Amino acid sequence: MRGACLAMAVLSALSAPAYAIEVDGRIDPAEWQGAQHITDFRKVQPLSGEPGSQPTEAWILATPDGLAIAFRNVQPAGVPRTRQMVQRDFEQQVDRVNLMVDFDGSGRTGYNFTVSSTDGIADAVITNESQFNDDWDGNWRHAVSEDADSWSVEMLIPWYIAPMHRAEGGTRTMKVYLDRVIGSTGERAGWPVASFERPRFLSDFAPVVVPQYSQSLLAITPYVSGLYDNVHGGSDFDGGADFLWKPNGQFQLTATINPDFGQVESDDLVVSFDATETFISDKRPFFTENQGLFEFTTPSDFSQLLYTRRIGAPADDGNGSGDITAAVKVNGSVGETKYGVFAADEADEVGRSFRALRLVRDFSTQNLGMMLTQVERPYLDREATVFGVDHNWRPTERVSVETRLIGSQIDQVVEGAADDSVRDYGGTMWVNYEMDHGWRQQWLVMHFGNELQINDMGYLSRNSTNYGNWQVMRRFTDLPAESRYASKDWRARITGSYNNHGDRLQQQLRISRQSGLRNGSSEYAQININSAGVDDMLTRGNGVVKLPPNFNANFSYERPRKGNWSYEIEALAFSSGLAGNSKIGYSVEFQPTYFISDAFSVYAGVYADRTPDWLLWQHDNLIGSFDGGEWHFNAGLDWNIGNKQELRVKLQALAIDAQARQAWRVDSAGNAVASDDPIEDFSLSNLGFQIRYRYELAPLSYLYVVYGRGGFNQNEFSENGGRLVRDSFDLRDDEQLLVKLSYRFEL
């Protein structure tokens, strides 16, 4: 089957005349004359490879204006259509089509363009075979039409949308994947038979040969903003601009002057007492444009060498955030080698300077890259340099091997240190093996040195790690027709992790199942059985803490919209702390959404948990055990006022209550010894509220009017959780009104 698909894929569109495509959603045979016509759409979700339940056909045509794609999706009255309006970068399960394209055919970076049946769109960058990042927004054209038995989509993707190497001989070999999703059942039919549920996805796209075209673009996006502070009084006005120059696919420059980071986007509330930093994604346009080349990640959660939230983060002197004066980014290619250069500077004597260099070389079955980052932090008299090498190898169609090597050097004057320079290294390797009859295996090893430090510009949740796992997986897609399930994917994993001092952090057995239901819903269940081990981060460098065996088990269910309702539910049971399995905690979450109309929905959700033996660091080697509870209330509305306007209201209230149970001192052997040291109950409330109106003046040009309010309060006493949530509504540490206007001029 795969051979037949690939044979079809290499059909050339060289003879296609360069007709202009009118992007109106109506597929005119004269316009699409000479296009490559695809009809062999097969089920990839569930991943059976069987023909899709509903006929789908698509056309691919290269034109001087861009890559044109058309879909015709047969969907008779017996298959319900989703009429729901969606906002950009939506995640709702609705009728939709996807174009995914790797313009260089290298298997390193792809771009996803999604259009729903109501002409809503989403776009994302694909890296590491199957990692999607929807922070990026591109400028491309799309339209939808429908009749009684089908609906159709036309897209036009400009050639300047992404960096791409110079093609030889007047033709370009891209790799393409197309699919359509039926919202009411969740069925996904694609061409070729490739799946992001497999370790290899980008590499399995079908090669398509098209004529070589090139486009240039010069875009300037100035902005002005005004902010009124209703708590502290006063107003603030600002302005700046983003610049984008793409003379051709081989060179693209992005720059920004005095970028505005006003809160037109709101991050979710997070209150964390952990020793590890919380990762937050970045939606700032400059940092998302052409960012795929700079992706250098490892299997450790969210780890990467360039974490753009460092730029403009809290200043090194602790007073406010860094003030970015300017930043520039260059992407390009020379032959088969791609390069990227990144630089950003912050103002004033506490300002930091960030630099990054990226090189990538593609080969037929592998690619090799390197990345160098450097941060100067004059306030701390610190300079951090990190060097990484990444290698991706596909020796066969079934096997893929990914390797990362990282080294860091920190130069900083530290009182009492014998050497002002500290060096260390780390490395990871993971191997995926796709077997027959739905079986797969994965092996992963990881080492990070004690002094490996990449967090001046990157993100790593912890160093001092030695980790390995073996995972076996089995996918079932041939379930009986009377089963409520369309597919089940079972996984079993054994892991072990130690720090570099020989302490066992944890050994774990994990068993999980991901299931797709025939009504479009999804289920996930997982249980982790953990051995005894130590926590070497809880006391912040004041010794390790021995912990007994524990477990956690969770179940989640997500049902897409049926009628006027959709909902999500999740439940978790766990043991933790020094009590181990003798005390069981739990959490539950439920969030329904009610659709007043296809364009207007409201939601309200609650979350509650109880941790009966919650360990919190107090100071030096003193830790406290608390009976902790946490409650969230989330509510809001989404109103799509036509295709150009949207109104969003988002409310988040969070409360934590902790009743002190016992103080513990940690001895030199890691044992927790009961102590009479005083520890206090505490409680806190946190509020985040935003009303955001957005009007799209033109592509990537917006008027925002945003009202935001928030507050935080912590008490040295215990309090009822419901009362804490109610009290959070009175918090008012911040209250602001922001108006921002940005307009993109394309020259």
Q: Is 740 exposed, middle or buried (0-12, 13-18, 19+ CB in 10 A)?
A: buried
pLDDT tens for 431-467 read: 999 999 999 999 999 999 999 999 999 999 999 999 9
Q: What is the mean pLDDT of residues 1-23?
A: 50
pLDDT tens for 45-80 read: 999 999 999 999 999 999 999 999 999 999 999 999
Is residue 558 within 8 Å of residue 521, measured between CB atoms? Answer: yes
H/E stretch holding 601: strand 600-619
pTM of the model: 0.89
Q: Does residue 304 register a pLDDT over 50?
A: yes
Of residues 697 and 416, more confidence is placed in: 697
pLDDT tens for 586-595 read: 999 999 999 9
Closest CA to 162 of 116, 203, 115, 113: 113
Structure tokens at 468: 């390995």
In the 8-state DSSP scheme, what is residue 370? E
For residue 167, the model assigns a pLDDT of 83
3-state secondary structure of 50: coil
Domains of the chain, residue spans: 2-215, 237-261+277-461
pLDDT tens for 556-572 read: 999 999 999 999 999 99
C-alpha distances (whole Å) from 548 to each of 503, 505, 581, 617 are 14, 11, 8, 18
User: Dihedral sign, CA of 634, 685, 659, 574?
Assistant: positive
Closest CA to 269 of 705, 539, 635: 635
pLDDT tens for 208-258 read: 999 999 899 999 999 999 999 999 889 989 899 999 999 988 899 999 998
Cis before 560? omega within 30 = no
The label of the residue with tokens 């941790």 reads 611
Please enumerate in sequence order all residues whose Cβ is within 8 A of that of 259, keeping only pairs 6 or more positions apart, or say none.
Answer: 240, 242, 284, 286, 312, 324, 327
CATH classification code of 2-215: 2.60.40.1190
User: Dihedral sign, CA of 297, 302, 306, 308?
Assistant: positive
How many other C-beta atoms can be found within 10 angstroms of the C-beta atom of residue 483?
A: 12
Counting Cα atoms < 13 Å in the Cβ hemisphere of 50 gives: 9
Max CA-CA distance within the chain? 85
Please enumerate in sequence order all residues whose Cβ is within 8 A of that of 711, keeping only pairs 6 or more positions apart, or say none.
Answer: 685, 686, 687, 728, 731, 732, 733, 734
Residue 28 dihedral angles phi and psi, to the nearest 5°: -90, 120
The label of the residue with tokens 């609705």 reads 94
Is residue 410 within 8 Å of residue 384, measured between CB atoms? Answer: yes
Q: Is 433 exposed, middle or buried (0-12, 13-18, 19+ CB in 10 A)?
A: middle
Closest CA to 75 of 89, 95, 45, 101: 95
For residue 1, the model assigns a pLDDT of 41
Is residue 472 within 8 Å of residue 440, measured between CB atoms? Answer: yes
Is residue 338 within 8 Å of residue 320, measured between CB atoms? Answer: no
Structure tokens at 541: 């460098």
Closest CA to 559 of 548, 570, 550, 551: 570
pLDDT tens for 357-384 read: 999 998 888 889 999 999 999 999 999 9
Residues belonging to the chain: 747
Closest CA to 156 of 24, 289, 323, 262: 24
> How big, in percent rounded to 5, are the helix, strand and coil portions of the chain?
5, 55, 40
